[in-house]
Structure 1
Amino acid sequence: MPSTPAFVLDALIFIGLAWVAWRALGRSIPIAVIPIIIGLLLAATGALPAGWGVPSKLGDQIGFVGVLLLAFTAGLETRQSAHLPTAADATPLPRTQALRFVASAGMALLLPFALGTLAAHYYFTGLPGWEAPKGGAWMGALAIGLCIAVSALPVLIGIVRELGPLHRPLTQLALRIAVIDDAVLWIGLAVLLLAAEGGSLLAGASWSTVLAVGVVAVLAVAGTLAQRLHRDPPTWAIWLMLPLFLVAGAWASSQFGLHALLGAYFGGAMVPPAWTKRLPVERMGQLALIGLAPLFFGHSGLKIDGSVLGWASLQASLALLVLAVVAKLVAVLLCPPASTLSRREALAVGALLQCKGLMEIVAATILRDHGLLSEHAFAALVTLAVLSTLLTGPFFRALVRRHAQADTGARQAV
């Protein structure tokens, strides 16, 4: 099929059909996962003829631009908490609880990461087709552990907005932890990829690598100076600077041998928070999420080898899901983010944090592209991300509903 009709069909399937399905389901399923489900179903059934040209080359390019923008806005959101949905009377956490909060965020990352890594090393990577093509057994296990530890900030923001203001104190705690977890995820990805290269990046340094280091340094210094000097340039000037941070960050990370998405994220994180307050970050993220990135995520599902999607893969995904959910819940029970939370409220926060969403799929895609995940592991982790995201809203509602019923029963007994 010629390129233009192939792209139109591509967009109709992964953008148009996904949006229609989302509206038809009453927005009960996050729109982020619907293109992935469509791609997985097409890959598993082989219902899409190869001659139709889907995925199209133009669709791949537009989808990649969309996910770059999504990573960039995720970086912006980690620096600017004003973009998180808050109540009008929301106040920062008291300083006395800051240490507890940071410890809880660390526990919510470290426990799932440790358990996921150990389970992967001693069991999952021993399954047929699960061994990582590069990096050895431990590198592949660390890659799976990192995906298990993910909390998906962009999708979680959307889910929290759908939950409404009733449970705002709990959802705010979850979002604040997810901001930290999201930043650590991208740093962890960069460290893991650098470690997988075994120092070859420095050994093979060229003028482009040196230039990339200079670009990163200039961006970091410029963002820091702009923040400290409290300079507020015109809004149009900020809009002109944004593509520079995005493109320069993505290019620099690719020169280091890392994925361009890492640079896009850190490029967004380098933009001064004072600038992002004047930007429609939420709408930028929605444009990427609804209008561009579905092509990337739909293609990620479609490009999975259909032969690896079967009962064994689903069993592995369910086992990973149980591990990821239990680890998050145990983490927040062992170290609640606030001393005032009841056990059920802490579990409700953990139910939100177990959401994997797009960030796990992005992380898994990066790790697969660098040979740290096999196709079997990638397929299981993508399925895990879908199941985890679908579980988040109903799981949270069930916990807070039972908590409310318990409070009502106690008051009636009195």
Structure 2
Amino acid sequence: MNTTELFLIAMTIIFGGPYLVWRLGRTEYWAPLVVVQIVGGIVLGPGVLGAAFPEYYRFVFTPAVIQSLNGVAWWAVMLFVFIAGIELDLRAAWRHRRESSITAGLALGSPLLLGSAAALVLLAQDGWVGPKAQPWQFVLGIGMACAVTALPILILFMEKLGILRQPLGQRILRYASLDDIAIWAVLALILMDWQRVGRQLAFLALFALAAWGVRRLMQAIPERDRWYTALIWLAGCAFLADWAGLHYMVGAFLAGAVLDAEWFEQAKMDLLRHHVLLVMMPVFFLSTGLRTNWQAGGLAVFGAAALLLVAQLVGKLAGLRLAGRILGWPKGEASLIGWLLQTKALIMIIFANILLDKQVITAETFTALLLMAVASTMLTVPVVAPRLARSPASGATG
């Protein structure tokens, strides 16, 4: 078979397998389709399918097919991160700056500290630290991975739970938005290449100037032209960020963060996010699964994943409980918000992909982080739904 035919076989497997498991297994409550697709990517990777059926795996997933899939995955994840940047609502966070800063700070800082402590445990052992990582980069990277909240998936979950447009949902979006900015800022620090610092400073200066011009342009053109202009802006920013050594996904996030959501019709933005998740992101999940590695030993990888899961869960819930005490929240509200904000999924997987690309972590560490992200995301709805049903928090005005 030629590369096109093998590519189409791979695409059939990528879209067909997870969908059948999700639909026939009726997993929606505890594992939404996006989670099944992430797990499907792991199963189709070298650690499961490649180990069980090595000849079939090599037949379908040839280097040419993998390269083609990677191209789709790159664009998909850039669009996804770009949308996440656009959906940041910093104005609302500023209006409620005391509450938002205290909550976001503790929601990020507490799991960051515990995640960094877990990273120190891994640092003392062989096989977890990437070949190009300084110890501080590894510790800070793992700590931040434990602190991440997946804003786009959080939006999907809150839509499912019926609280997205309610006061509680809007408060949670403010907290997650502030943490999103901190996550990408820390990532830029980790990726700072002192040998190319001139390029990176040039990129930041050029980006600030270009962002000013693009913002003025966006306000001057009709909405139908803003969508095309936004895609050109996205591609250019991603290219320049990667050229500067910061990674193309940092550029994609920055490209979206400087645009105002109000310039785009909300219904169309929701549809775009939905269609990116439907049409292209499953390819990213597979390309992520292809990077998993179990060579450190299955038990060691699962043990590391469990350690990281406990660190991020305890850290997130403890941070929110402290915030609730400081701000005088009703009983049970801090725990409910904490469980929602511990959702990991895509953003943490994207974050971990970048750390792996830059050789800050090894494939074994990446696999442990991926398992942690899947577990934390699968816990969210089953834990939150019953708490929400018996809590008056969904109607809180904050």
Give the TM-score band, short-chain normalised: 0.7 to 0.9
Matched, 1:71 2:81: yes
2:68 corresponding residue in structure 1: 58
- What SS does the aligned partner of 1:280 have? helix
User: Which residue of 373, 379, 388 maps to 2:367?
Assistant: 379
TM-score (norm 1): 0.85
**What secondary structure, in the 3-state scheme, does the structure 2 residue paired with 1:132 have?**
coil
Equivalence for 2:292: 304
Give the aligned partner of residue 18 of structure 1.
Answer: 18
Q: Deviations over 1:31-90 (max 9, x none)?
A: 222222122223333235212225532221112111111111111111489xxxxxxxxx
Q: Distance in 2 between matches of 1:366 and 1:280?
A: 29
Matches within 5 A, 1:110-189: 110-121=109-120, 123-165=121-163, 168-189=166-187
State the match for 1:193 in structure 2.
191
The percentage of aligned residue pairs carrying the same residue is 29
1:389 maps onto 2:377 in alignment: yes
8 A contact 1:3–1:56 mirrored in 2:
no
Separation of aligned partners in 1, 2:323 and 2:164: 24
What are the ranges of 5 or more consecutive residues in structure 1 without an aligned counterpart? 82-91, 405-414
Counterparts of residues 240-319 of structure 1 (less than 5 Å): 240-277=228-265, 280-308=268-296, 310-319=298-307
Distance 1:219 1:160, change over 3 A: same
Cα distance change of structure 1 residues 343 and 326 upon mapping to structure 2, 3 Å threshold? farther
Shift of 1:237: 1.9
Relative to structure 1, the CA distance from residue 76 to residue 167 in structure 2 (aligned partners, 3 Å threshold; closer, same or farther) is: closer
Larger CA deviation: 258-267 vs 134-143? 134-143
CA distance in 1, matches of 2:133, 2:94: 44
**Residue aligning to 1:84:** none
In structure 2, the residue matched to 1:86 is none
Counterpart position of 2:395:
none
Q: 1:32 aligns with which of 31, 34, 39?
A: 34
Distance across 2 between alignment mates of 1:277 and 1:166:
17
Partner of 2:348: 360
- Aligned residue for 1:49? 57
Q: 1:387 deviation in Å? A: 0.4
Query: Which residues in structure 2 correspond to 1:85-96 (within 5 Å)?
Result: none
Change (3 A) 1:217 1:350: same
Q: Distance in 1 between matches of 2:197 and 2:137?
A: 20
98 and 214 in structure 1: CA distance in 2 versus 1, 3 angstrom threshold: closer
Counterpart of 2:212? Answer: 221
Q: Shift of residue 226 of structure 1?
A: 5.4
What letter matches 1:27 in structure 2?
E
- The more displaced of 150-159 and 267-276 is 267-276
Secondary structure of 1:33's aligned partner: helix
Q: 1:151 to 1:337 in 2, by over 3 A?
A: farther
- The one-letter code of the counterpart of 1:120 is A
> In structure 2, do the counterparts of structure 1 residues 134 and 359 end up closer, same or farther at CA, with 3 Å as the change threshold?
same
Distance 1:172 1:178 in 2: 10
Deviations 1:159-178 (A, max 9, x none): 11111249944333222211
